[in-house]
Amino acid sequence: MGDREKKVIFSGVQPSGKMTLGNYLGALKSWTKLQDDYECYYSMVNMHAITVPQDPEVLRRQTTELLAQFLACGIDPDKNTIFVQSHVHEHAELNWVLCTMTYMGELNRMTQYKDKSRKSEANLNAGLFTYPVLMAADILLYQADLVPVGDDQKQHMELARDLANRFNARFSDTFVVPEGYYPKETARVMSLQEPEKKMSKSDSNEKAFILLAESAETTAKKIKSAVTDSVGIVKYSDEQPGIKNLINIYSAMTDKSVEEIVSMYEGKGYGAFKGEMAEAVVETLRPIREKYNYLLENPDYLESIYAKGAEKAQIRAAQTLEKVYNQIGFIPKKNK
């Protein structure tokens, strides 16, 4: 553990649809910022995605599309290990070990499980329930120090930390205890239609979210029809959640501070604010979308990235799993 040159990062996104601006500002933007200073493992977590029903053909396609989105957002495949979760079987194996150390009560408390199970009562499967344990396995396998995610993952991060501490206490120091890394203003990007709700790709109202791959016209339209309020002043206040969310997005997409943006629109109405904001967001997304479309034309290149990624990821994952099996009393396999 102590002999590593750089600290380690692990994070993942489910290939269950196209990436939203929430995924970008909550997670991917941090990934690009941190990639020079950390040894990073970034994964398309397809094993998580099947906790809700998926069409196999669509899941396959979305997995490589997600990889193209990672790269288009600026994740450098030469600096980072980018891989498909199911290609590294150690995830499933560590998941099992950790399941035996997780209490039902801990999983029962998970708010994301409660939300999801309410939405899909017909598919209340055990995988959905134990999902946070698999997430802990993802993180602990790589001995990650830091996990850049949005704040909807905070409770899952706590479980990962508890499991690391529990294992270390019960056996011996095996896992690094990971920390969550949350962006300051965009750890929770809100819906454009109901600003008290998180922006989510599964929202039935498409105007609620922005997709990185959608057209510039669609993005601009969605911003212009975002729900605001009747105050009419561009102010950063909890009483104006719609405007606050737009200011946060505007700030993160342009790297202008919140104060700068508020002062830019002093004495101006929401029309001017939304118009210029839409333009700024569209211009920041344009090169990402163009690179994404270009990469989709190069499936062999994408395949070479995830092939190399799985090989590198597995080396570290296997080291950790071997230690774990040793600790818990599994005898090593002997080759005759």
Contacting residues toward ligand TYM, per CB under 6 A: 10-14, 22-23, 26-27, 45, 48, 135, 138-139, 147, 149-150, 152-153, 187-189, 198-199
Rounded distance between C-alpha atoms, residue 114 and residue 148, angstroms: 23
Minimum distance of ligand TYM from residue 210's CB (angstroms) = 10
203 annotated ligand-binding residue: no
Do the beta carbons of residue 35 and residue 76 sit within 8 Å? yes
Answer whether 123's CB lies under 8 Å from 145's CB.
no
Nearer Cβ to ligand TYM, position 26 or 77? 26
150 known member of a binding site = yes
Q: Which of 29, 116, 222, 244 is catalytic?
A: 116
Q: Which residues touch 226 (CB under 8 Å, ≥6 apart)?
A: 192, 193, 242, 245, 246, 274
Q: Is 151 annotated as a binding residue?
A: yes
**C-beta of 199: minimal distance to ligand TYM in Å?**
4
CA-based end-to-end distance of the chain: 32
Query: Toward ligand TYM, which CB reaches closer, 186 or 240?
Result: 186
Least CB distance to ligand TYM at residue 303 (A):
22
Tell me if 200 is assigned to a ligand binding site.
Answer: yes
Which residue's CB atom is positioned nearest to ligand TYM?
26
Q: Does residue 16 have a known ligand-binding role?
A: yes
Retrieve residue 287's tokens.
């090169």
Which residue among 7, 18, 154, 201 is the active-site one? 201
Nearer to ligand TYM, 165 or 263 (CB): 165
Q: How far apart are CA 140 and CA 230, in angstroms?
A: 48
Rg of the chain over all Cα atoms, to the nearest angstrom: 21
Q: Which is nearer to ligand TYM, 141 or 282 (CB)?
A: 141
199 is in an annotated binding site: yes
Q: How far is the CB of 287 from ligand TYM (least distance, A)?
A: 21
Q: Which residues neighbour 291 within 8 Å (Cβ) at sequence distance 6 or greater?
A: 71, 72
Closest distance to ligand TYM from the beta carbon of 140 (Å)? 10
143: left (phi over 0), alpha (psi -120 to 50) or beta: left
Residue 9 near residue 147 (C-beta atoms within 8 A): yes
- The pairing of strands 146-148 and 179-181 is parallel
Is 76 assigned a ligand-binding role in the annotation?
no
Cβ of residue 87: shortest distance to ligand TYM, in angstroms? 14
Whole-number Å distance between alpha carbons of 336 and 324: 23
Question: In whole angstroms, what is the distance from residue 318 CA to residue 293 CA?
Answer: 35
Note the residue count of the chain.
Answer: 336
Q: Which of 198, 222, 244, 274 is catalytic?
A: 198
Nearer to ligand TYM, 97 or 265 (CB): 97
Residues 14 and 16: their CA atoms lie apart, in Å, by 5
198 as an active site residue: the answer is: yes
Q: Which residue has the tokens 């977590």?
A: 45
**79 among known catalytic residues:** no
114 as an active site residue: the answer is no
CA distance 142 to 139: 6
**Which is nearer to ligand TYM, 24 or 265 (by Cβ)?**
24
17 marked ligand binding residue? no
Q: Which residues are annotated as a binding site?
A: 14-16, 22-23, 138, 150-152, 189, 198-202
Q: Which residues are annotated as a binding site for L-tryptophan?
A: 138
Q: Which residues are annotated as a binding site for ATP?
A: 14-16, 22-23, 150-152, 189, 198-202
Query: What are the residue numbers of the active site?
Result: 116, 198, 201
